[in-house]
A and B are shown apart, each in its own frame.
Chain A
Amino acid sequence: MAFTSVKQLLAAAKEQNLPLWEIILDEDVKDRGTGREDSLRQMNALWSAMKSAGVSYRAEARSKSGLVGGDGGKMEEYAKTGNGIVSGFFSEVIAQALQMGECNACMKRIVAAPTAGSCGVLPAVLIPFAKANKIEDRQIISALFVAAGFGQIIASRASISGAEGGCQAEIGSASAMAAAAVVSLKGGTPEMCANACAMALMNLLGLVCDPVAGLVEIPCVKRNVVGAVNAISCADMSLAGIGSAIPPDEVIDAMREVGDMMPAALKETGTGGLAATPAGITAAKRIHGNI
């Protein structure tokens, strides 16, 4: 059985004196009754697919509803001018998150991580990070095991579905997974990975799932940006030695409780929040009347 608490995961890493990713890989091998090579091969395929998705972006593509498309291109052009408030790596993260979210909305091939709606967060952090720091694929694959391991604990204690727990369960979880992954790439300790995960999740606690017209477009595409930027901030805080006042498992449990308390209108039904604004309703009427 896979880990159901961060506490367990950290204890196993300490006891066996192995890096987090090895512990998570071993557990997957046991859980699915597969071989180490098979597990590594699968993760490698996911990383390759993330990179391919990154280059499949076309700025002229629009989603079928016409609600999204092109913003990733605008952001990339703007970043190139060098006049942005942030530049270099950070502006690439923003552009990549938008592009991946738009690829998904335009029916391109992406990697659900953990979901299709939140597919932009991990690649938006990892692709520019690998490029800027000349990181080898092998290391990224290890970091993806770290991300998946934390994601699995979140899925078991809380949820990774917007319909069950709101956007905090999708973008929040993706952000927490990305934060842990990037800390591991920077050589942070397992505790630092766990703290980054906890802080990223607590920062997005309460985020509702309120897609306009019920489609994975508005605000989903742009929320990938907030997930990625939040992951990097929390990773750096953790690497600076800043801890999470609330232990990771308790943050995850709080996410579940908040999700349980959320009304159905804010859990992927497209009936509350942004979906229920006058502009959201107008868009929904146009789309459902025309498609």
Chain B
Amino acid sequence: MIDKALIGGKKYYGLIAVLLGVIGVGFLCYLWQFFHGLGITGMGRDVSWGLYIAQFTFLVGVAASAVMVVLPYYLHNYKAFGRITVLGEFLAISSVAMCMLFIFVDMGQPLRVLNVLLHPTPNSVMFWDMLVLSGYLALNILIGWISLDCERKGVAPPKWIKPFVYLSIPWAVSIHTVTAFLYAGLPGRHLWLTAIMAARFIASAFASGPSLLIILCLIVRKTTRFDPGKEAVQTLAKIVTYAMIINLFFLGLEFFTAFYSRIPGHMQPLVYLYAGLEGHGVLIPWMWTSTALAALSLVLLVNPVTRRHESVLVVAVVSVFFSTWIDKGMGLVVGGFIPNPLEEVVEYVPTLPEVLITLGVWAIGFLILTILFKIAITVKEGVEEAGA
């Protein structure tokens, strides 16, 4: 099937060329970082994780969200999702690939990455995170590829694939739970030391991932002869609605615990993020943008009239995506380091090469996504035309 990625129209080649260009710039910046060290980023001794780890955290959510199409289709026989399960799985593959790359570019000694396997350390959550992420990647490659190949041949998927499909459902939950445990088990980082972290991660994942999938479905409908289906998009929109409400509810719980208990350590990072601390607050506009987008998206999603209107729905899901991206892809990780363990406020702003490397990794993810979607959609177009 890979051959289908090689033949395409001008727009397809154009998109690939643009992505390769962004990847090239990112790669050059990475070479600089590789030889100079992570000092070219905005990270420092106080905020020691930044944009890279935040992207990783956010994208684990996008990856996990594939389960939101797999589960209704395979466990509840929800036929409308049959058309897009492969798209969900392919989105998961490209997201996990980005997750792994973001971890890689964040490492001080990337050539020693295999030490994690050479010296397996079960008490480290990072060890488990690596296991569940690679397992999830393998599962989605296997399931996505086999199902698509069967679809192309017009045969039912083999029976042996079913156990893998069922396994992939709890596995999706595990990747985001384990990723939350990276943060939620650290003494002295009050913003992260919360039992609801994993639940919050999953809620925001099931809002952001399906949002991106809706956007992708609409792009696919516009640019190809394959229509993912109005019903599939609408059901995804309902999932996004519920997940976003739960996500914001969980965020509210954090605020309650911090501000009703009045424990300074719990309040400080939230105060820093939303109002500024000791005169520092570079993230304030971002956090309030996130809040405003969340509010806007809720208004548009909860109301069935606006939700059913696809052009309005686009605005809503783009808002959800960026709102959760700011919240998790910036605020959560950076906010956890501020104030530092000595209660000093040291801020973090990513540098230009850091941003370009980040964009480069995103471009690699989108390149993988573009190629996988091209294959899937060419197969689906072929099947539908043969059927017509």
Do A and B truly interact?
no
